[in-house]
Structure 1
Amino acid sequence: MRCQTCGDATSTEHNDCQRCHTPLGQPAVTPGLPTYRVRGIGLAANVAVGATAVFYVVVSLSPLIGIVMARQAMANDDPDLLLGAAVVAGLLALPMVVAHLTAAVLVIIWTWRARKNTDAFPGALPTLGAGWAIAGWLVPFANFVVPARVVAGVARDSLWRRFTPTLVVVWWCAWLVFSVGGRLTSRADDRAYGTLPETPFTDAGYQAYVDYYGDSLLRNALPAVACAVSAVTLILLIHRISAAQEARIARAAPVWPAAQVWPAQVWPAPPAVPAAPVQPSAASDAPTA
């Protein structure tokens, strides 16, 4: 007897498949329970996550532009260049914010669908309801733990693991460093910027701006690296989980037989109509002389 989920041979010595943990005799997907496509939304989420990481790294490197413009402002004694540096940083941050919000929405939708699919997988052992796939990101303090637990459960049940995959641990640790570190860095930058002279008139005033951008570049290094690691691991998780779930759902889909093509019926030829007898003409009936 073979498992209907993974195709491995099963043994009556065990109550479930030793590879995918599906109970013996159970189908890959429980009939009657809804399932959702996750490949398309997962691909969109991956694109948005990748774009967010790229934009965030660019914003983290924007203090390099500030250093160059602050030094140019000191050389030319032109304070307007300092305002230009702030404008450039703001313009670079705008697409990052848009990508971040888009990624957040798409990842939440994907997580909810992936979690709902596990309800239809025999042998799955979800620990949190599907509603936590959404609420877990929104409830204060719970958002430090719940999203990781939801994704960990989905990964275990989709990738046939008894324990949480390492990718989930790396992703969540990097996400926490990025999320918390990014906020702390932003607050430190705001405090440091508030101590700068509004309009520098001396080289020392311009140098203060150069030092500020240099310190900001160093402060942003750790959150930028954490953002990149978090994005890469999350993209891998979404791709692997989506592929595994789509394959399992497709395996359980019924294969309808092809429509039977009936052979063309050959109709018998119509019976031949006998020719009408030829009636003798009047001339032929007349007696001959």
Structure 2
Amino acid sequence: MHCQTCGDATSPAYEECLRCGTRAGQPAVSPGVPTYGVGGLAVAGAFAVGATVLCYLLTALFPIVGVRMARSAAEQLDRDVLLGAVLAEVLFSLPYLLAVLTAGTLVVIWTWRARKNLDAFPGAVPNLGPAWAVAGWLVPLANFVVPARVLADLLRNSVWRRRRSWLVGVWWVSWLVFLIGDRFVARAEQQRYDRLTELPRNDAEFGTYVRFYEDALAPRLVPAVACLVAGIAFVVLIRRISAAQQDRLARAVPVWPGQPVWPGHPGRPAPAAPMPVAQTSPQVPPAPGGTIGA
């Protein structure tokens, strides 16, 4: 026999699984506890996260285009070309913002569903409640720590492969580097941009815009690489967790009326009382002297 929680082979000599501690005979999913499919949502979320990473990389590499446009503006002494560079960067940012909103919505829904499924898995012992699966992404400061703890709960109680827990650490570190690095770089760039001449008139003033874009590329590479690593690690995590949960949900046997349920489960129906049987007298054949034929 194999454990319904982690899949390891079980021994009749032990009442519990040696890996996860699940009692022998427990089902894959507790009857009566609602569960949620996460397979399709994981695919959509992975696609949205990948699109977000791609859009962010395009915005991070925009200084390559900005340098060319600033040099063209310096050669022509044309301020409109510089304005075009600003508008082009805004246009680069719009797909990224749309991808972030889409990916964020899908990830929050997926996290909540995956966390709710743990409540239906016998042997799962999560550290945080389902509410943190949503609030952890939205509450300021908490979003630096809580999502990593929720993902660690999901990985530990869904996949049951402790050697893969390092992937959560890789995602968490790269995620923090991306969040902090992106904000730091954006603030530093804004300060540098505010010091530029608003209406350049000569080669020297136009040259400051060229140097601005030249110096902007290197700092952007740090959050860009962190975003790429975090995106890849997160996609792998949600795919592995979703595959493990879907496999466990598929092993669940629906409980039909009259089918025995796991002993000791709180949702086990009470045995039905036997139907009372009316006492009947044995049928006596008619005899002479009765009403008929009297």
| TM-score bin (small chain) | 0.7 to 0.9
How many Å separate the matches in 2 of 1:164 and 1:7? Answer: 16
1:252 Cα shift? Answer: 1.1
SS of aligned partner of 2:78: coil
Q: 2:140 is matched with which residue?
A: 140
Q: 1:243 is matched with which residue?
A: 243
Greater CA drift, 155-164 or 76-85: 155-164
Match for 2:39: what amino acid?
R
Number of aligned residue pairs: give it.
Answer: 256
Contact 1:170 1:233 in 2 (8 A): yes
Q: 1:228 is matched with which residue?
A: 228
Q: 2:59 is matched with which residue?
A: 59
Q: Which has the larger radius of gyration?
A: 1
* Change in CA separation of 1:255 and 1:34 when aligned onto 2, cut-off 3 Å: closer
Q: Deviations over 1:248-277 (max 9, x none)?
A: 000113499xxxxxxxxxxxxxxxxxxxxx
How many Å separate the matches in 1 of 2:138 and 2:233? Answer: 22
**What does residue range 101-120 of structure 1 map to in structure 2 within 5 Å?**
101-120=101-120
Q: 1:263 is matched with which residue?
A: none
1:68 Cα shift? Answer: 0.2
How many Å separate the matches in 1 of 2:76 and 2:153? Answer: 59
Q: Which consecutive residues of structure 1, in runs of 5 or more, have no partner in the other structure?
A: 257-289
Contact 1:36 1:117 in 2 (8 A): yes
CA RMSD, Structure 1 to Structure 2 (Å) = 1.7
* Change in CA separation of 1:160 and 1:172 when aligned onto 2, cut-off 3 Å: same
1:214 Cα shift? Answer: 1.3
Q: 1:78 is matched with which residue?
A: 78
How many Å separate the matches in 2 of 1:172 and 1:20? Answer: 25
Contact 2:137 2:143 in 1 (8 A): yes
**What does residue range 124-273 of structure 1 map to in structure 2 within 5 Å?**
124-162=124-162, 165-254=165-254
How many Å separate the matches in 2 of 1:220 and 1:39? Answer: 34
The reply on whether 1:91 has 2:91 as its aligned counterpart is yes
Q: 2:31 is matched with which residue?
A: 31
Contact 2:6 2:159 in 1 (8 A): no
SS of aligned partner of 1:18: coil
How many Å separate the matches in 2 of 1:134 and 1:3? Answer: 31
Q: Deviations over 1:200-238 (max 9, x none)?
A: 122111111011111111111100000010000000001
* Change in CA separation of 1:254 and 1:212 when aligned onto 2, cut-off 3 Å: same
Match for 2:175: what amino acid?
W
Contact 1:37 1:113 in 2 (8 A): yes
SS of aligned partner of 2:130: coil
Contact 1:5 1:251 in 2 (8 A): no
1:21 Cα shift? Answer: 4.4
How many Å separate the matches in 2 of 1:49 and 1:206? Answer: 38
Contact 2:42 2:242 in 1 (8 A): yes
SS of aligned partner of 2:197: coil
Match for 2:115: what amino acid?
R
Q: Percent identity?
A: 55
1:189 Cα shift? Answer: 1.0
Greater CA drift, 209-218 or 46-55: 209-218
1:22 Cα shift? Answer: 2.8
SS of aligned partner of 1:3: coil
Q: 1:268 is matched with which residue?
A: none
SS of aligned partner of 1:10: coil
Match for 2:232: what amino acid?
V
Contact 1:153 1:164 in 2 (8 A): no
Match for 1:54: what amino acid?
L
* Change in CA separation of 1:69 and 1:157 when aligned onto 2, cut-off 3 Å: same
Contact 1:16 1:23 in 2 (8 A): yes
1:138 Cα shift? Answer: 1.7
* Change in CA separation of 1:34 and 1:59 when aligned onto 2, cut-off 3 Å: same
Match for 1:241: what amino acid?
I
* Change in CA separation of 1:13 and 1:43 when aligned onto 2, cut-off 3 Å: same
Q: Deviations over 1:143-198 (max 9, x none)?
A: 11111101100100001135771111101111111111111111111111100011
SS of aligned partner of 1:131: helix
